[in-house]
Amino acid sequence: MIKVKGCSFTGLEIQISDLNLNNLKKYFQTQKDFFKYTPLILFLKEPFKEEEFVNLFKFLKDNLSLNIIGLKGDKKLSFLSEKLKTAYFPDLEKDSKERKNKSLNSFGSNVKVVDQSLRAGEIVESENSIIVLGDVNFGAKVISHENVYIMGDLRGIVICGIGKDYGEVRAMFASPQYIEICGKRKEFERDSKYILFKAFYKKGDLDITISSYNLKAI
């Protein structure tokens, strides 16, 4: 079974609850013109076999040229996402129900979750990693002693890795004012636009590393 729903980052989330390869390949082949050029997240609702999912993923990327930008669901997808060179998004709704008042631990440490977009002038600060389930608009600021993950568009300021040897910022889309990681600051041109934005810095490096797609180049 497949369910398609909108996401906060102007893309589509494809919820898959039955990993039947033949049926899925037929479905996507039929719908490929509809999905073409649209950012897609594959959300696996049920347990899966790695070999079968890799087969499907490669079919969608290589055969149909679909824009798969991330995986969502079971935590073992976080390891598989590295192998497939795509992003991973935890099922925050499921985690919140299971943990209720406990701290969310989707990224291996305590996490502060902001379940809305941040407007100009708003500041969120935490000693732990921060997940923003929306946008960080121009003039808004996120400050973390660890890492920052933004599920929407980063157009404001992020300061992270405070007092640490390593820090990273990830966002679905980004055209930030500036970011500062472990005390190292990077400014951006006004027309800089990225998708699957990742910026990281390790103490001793010469500069912050940007590992993303620049929309001006694609």
pLDDT band at 1 (very low <50, low <70, confident <90, very high): low
What are the phi and psi torsion angles at 111 (to 5°)? -130, 135
Q: 9 pLDDT exceeds 60?
A: no
Q: What is the CA radius of gyration of the chain?
A: 18
pLDDT digits (tens, 9 = 90+) for 16-65: 888 888 889 988 888 888 777 777 888 887 778 889 889 999 999 999 99
Which runs of consecutive H residues, i.e. helices, occur in 106-189? Answer: none
Q: Please tell me the predicted confidence (pLDDT) of residue 213.
A: 61
In the chain, the domains with their CATH numbers are: 2-90 (3.30.70), 97-217 (2.160.20.70)
Q: Positive or negative, the Cα torsion across 179, 185, 190, 191?
A: negative
**Ranges assigned E (strand) in the chain:** 2-6, 12-16, 40-44, 68-73, 87-90, 111-114, 123-126, 129-132, 141-144, 148-154, 157-160, 166-174, 178-181, 184-187, 194-202, 209-210, 213-214
Token pair 């390891």 is found at 79
pLDDT digits (tens, 9 = 90+) for 102-119: 433 444 446 788 888 999
Rounded (10°) CA dihedral 6, 68, 197, 43: 50
Q: 185 pLDDT exceeds 50?
A: yes
